[in-house]
Structure 1
């Protein structure tokens, strides 16, 4: 439903059923009553001036943030402009759940950010400020599927530019990291289980190509590093049939790749070659700006690719050094997915 059709009366009616008004330090605050929350989710009652409603999101139990009618700037989204969903983009937040929700619903008129979905990590209670513990794997929708969230920013994949209008974004609450430091935080298994379940249903509903299930760093290398090398892309593929990956018998086995998919495109590389690797990555979808004559971003592209594929779960190898395994994965992905 578009916001212009919502009214204050509708919101009050909704809150009578899904939330209520409560006196707070900022005046009358909208909160989600415990009676409207599932067992173990009382922490959601502590969201500041935000009402959530229990619902099922792509086959997964979760919550939907009620639109902010009286403060439209807190709705961080707008129209897709007729664009169809063709990408699913994975992120991490680099902050805790409470800060994430604040950032994605902040009342301001510019530089707003958001994602369609947020999936919690486990966070301990903060007794000193009366804040309850946050369980891992809880799913919250802040932006309706049919609306454009502001999560991808300046981004490219193949011939598509600025992917916000044609993508859905999932934020995983996680402390994050930077490829230069090689230090990242692991993801909670319950969080990834929820991510895999909803992602599986999303890619099936929207017929999203496996190659179009990407990380923020894939579509904005050098500018973004999320979801980082510890994001378990292999688990999403093997356990939930989400995204592009190699089967166990395909890893390091060029004969199996040729047998299953035929020999097409690039020949199987036999040595490390920076130019050949970049050509394969460009063919796969990684964007190389033709204006970058000196190749200043090439190392960032290689690091982003390695974070997702050939050095996933190995932050220490997510660098600009090209190894035989990096060459093999780039070749095998191109052959398998017919790029």
Structure 2
């Protein structure tokens, strides 16, 4: 049975909910509750008419939710909340949920709902996936407080890792969302996937494999699927296995899977794909060079997900989620990533 999404309402000023993090004059009230099974969560109460510009959302105009988009904030928790509730006329941005990292006055994994789910948040900007453009009306957004990356010598990017408690809360939240809205695995995406070349979040350290294996969220390959013959036996792909790296063939597979070249470049699409899939957890490999493992991942994902419909893919709630909600799955996390890496290397 689906857990209650909002339990135990308890309104209070924001600065009391997060002592030491906000000033008393922030003018923000929140309601404490359990949101989608995550205790100790808060929801920002709507602002009054006199401050309506602080409500950074509007109507979906009947559009159906069919995407879940992952972001990172680049700024800390307090600045994120201030940005998402600024009393401004223009450049207002928001997301439905913010999941905190570990900070001085905020515990990692703390969940704050900023925008009601039935309203359109302003998070995606210019975006496209498959035939859809402007994904704001048809998506829910989860912001993860994370500094993103910093430039190092030689213009190299050093990405910041994610907190395990933060990922645990996000995984539980996301599992509940995809089950309620029947969101397809390949419709759980990063901002970079839907705006390649323009956006880079949630970055190469976002643990997509953990979301798939531990929380039944998103698209990925199972361990036994990291093999060409296994994909052929299981999915009978229409496209022959690409025998060598080919940039044009790769782009054709990626656009078939869902990536869009509208408003971007082929290099941007290839980097976005590799960041999410074939080079995930390996920032040094998230370039636009086409390798054999990139061809395999694109071919296998196309074979696995190209003909899936919502009625076939609604994941049942994993029985182990309550345990992961209480115990950090760090051992499983690193075990999964290590096995994936070994299998990838053995298939090269």
* TM-score, shorter chain, exceeding 0.5: yes
Question: Is residue 208 of structure 2 the alignment partner of residue 266 of structure 1?
Answer: no
Q: 1:223 to 1:135 in 2, by over 3 A?
A: same
- Matched with 2:45 is 66
- Matched with 2:304 is 336
- Matched with 2:91 is 111
SS where residue 121 of structure 1 aligns?
Answer: coil
- Matched with 2:325 is none
CA RMSD, aligned part only? 1.9
| Distance in 1 between residues matched to 2:162 and 2:28, nearest whole Å | 26
Cα deviation 1:108-144 (Å, max 9, x = unaligned): 11110000000000013xxxxxxxx211000000000
Question: Is residue 193 of structure 2 the alignment partner of residue 230 of structure 1?
Answer: no
2:15–2:23 contact (8 Å) kept in structure 1: no
2:204–2:283 contact (8 Å) kept in structure 1: yes
| Distance in 2 between residues matched to 1:120 and 1:310, nearest whole Å | 27
- Matched with 1:25 is none
1:176–1:185 contact (8 Å) kept in structure 2: yes
Question: Is residue 119 of structure 2 the alignment partner of residue 147 of structure 1?
Answer: yes
- Matched with 1:94 is 74
- Matched with 2:276 is 308
- Specify every segment of 5 or more residues in structure 2 that has no aligned partner in the other structure, as ranges: 1-8, 308-348
- Matched with 1:76 is 56
Question: Is residue 173 of structure 2 the alignment partner of residue 198 of structure 1?
Answer: yes
| Distance in 1 between residues matched to 2:280 and 2:241, nearest whole Å | 21
2:139 to 143, 167, 177: 167
| Distance in 1 between residues matched to 2:119 and 2:265, nearest whole Å | 31
Q: 1:231 to 1:212 in 2, by over 3 A?
A: same
Q: What is the CA-CA distance between 1:182 and the residue it aligns to?
A: 3.1
- Matched with 1:297 is 265
SS where residue 99 of structure 1 aligns?
Answer: helix
1:114–1:151 contact (8 Å) kept in structure 2: yes
Q: Which stretches of structure 1, 4 residues or more, deviate above 6 A after TM superposition?
A: none
Q: What is the CA-CA distance between 1:33 and the residue it aligns to?
A: 7.0
Count the aligned residue pairs.
293
| Distance in 2 between residues matched to 1:222 and 1:178, nearest whole Å | 17
- Matched with 2:257 is 284
2:248 to 253, 262, 275: 275
* TM-score (structure 1 length as normaliser): 0.83
- Matched with 2:161 is 186
